[in-house]
Amino acid sequence: MNRSGAGLEDALDALDKDPSRPFPLRERIGDAVAKVLGARNPPLDTHRRFVRGLAKRRDCRVPVLTLNYDPLVELAGALEECLVFDGFIGVYKAAFKPASFNYRVGMPSTRRGKPVTELLHGIIDLIKLHGSLGWYQLDGRIERRDPALELPVGCRRLLIPPQRRKHQDTATPPYSNLWSEFRGLLANDGPRLLNRLICVGYGFRDEHVNAILRAALNRHNFTLVILSKSLDDRVYAEWARSNRAIVVTETRSTILNNEVDPIPKAWSFEWLAEEIAYHA
């Protein structure tokens, strides 16, 4: 949806007259979104190429941040037999343990006759900032189960609907922990600090996301790559004028504040997956 259209988010915002009062319709929208997404069975070829390429990287942990609710990356990771950490530990009723993003996984080995632990590479940290299908809270416990299964009676679905209260929701667990990971990857001066972030298909409607990206662009060693089929003129102009941003759409492109000819198909997730797989 673009800003000129009356999309779902605009419609919900129009109905939400008083943000200080409960808005029960949001919960129903979350259930409806989960029902629609859960009924879909899209092909996973592109996602499998994507995770297969990431899993071959030499980095110990490869962060993937998403605002999507679907489990396509998780399913692709399972089919490719890749290690994907989403902040939960367990199988049938996985419990939320955000410290798992800092776990290091290794294999015993020897070096010069001495026992050592060789760290595994290419472990994907999947950080789902707005929740996911199959996430829920019951009796104070945050859990994940197979999205194909019904959620327990009386639980609260953990999926932030597309509406302006999203920013308020991110202040409570599990979202607050996931957003701390996001901010840390772009701001904290540590070994996990990212020097490059690629945004694919993001329309820059979420100001709480944009604020973190703007702050990261103040770093001299950071580059933001934006791939999107289209962007509003206002959005395009803001990010394209940065000396630390690369913006690619179907009809126009800018590299570090310099206009260039459009790069065919480079705005798409399919193109990115192919590039990652090719250069793995």
Enumerate residue ranges in the chain where pLDDT < 70. 1-26, 163-166, 189
Report yes or no on 80 lying in a domain: yes
Query: Can you give the pLDDT at residue 17?
Result: 60
- Residue 249 belongs to what domain range? 195-280
The amino acid occupying position 279 is H
Buried-exposed string 63-89: b where 16+ CB fall within 10 A, e elsewhere: bbbbbebbbbbbbbbeebebbbbbbbe
| Residues 67 and 130: beta-carbon distance below 8 Å | yes
- Domain endpoint, select from 152, 173, 188: 188
Which pair of structure tokens corresponds to residue 87? 């902040």
- Specify whether 39 is located in the same domain as 161: yes
Query: Can you give the pLDDT at residue 1?
Result: 30
Query: Can you give the pLDDT at residue 264?
Result: 86
- Specify whether 103 is located in the same domain as 204: no
Query: Can you give the pLDDT at residue 4?
Result: 37
Query: Can you give the pLDDT at residue 192?
Result: 84
Report yes or no on 274 lying in a domain: yes
- Specify whether 202 is located in the same domain as 183: no
- What pTM was estimated for this model as a whole? 0.89
- Specify whether 121 is located in the same domain as 136: yes
Residues 6+ apart with CB under 8 A from 217: 224, 242, 244, 245
Count of domains in the chain? 2
Query: Can you give the pLDDT at residue 249?
Result: 96
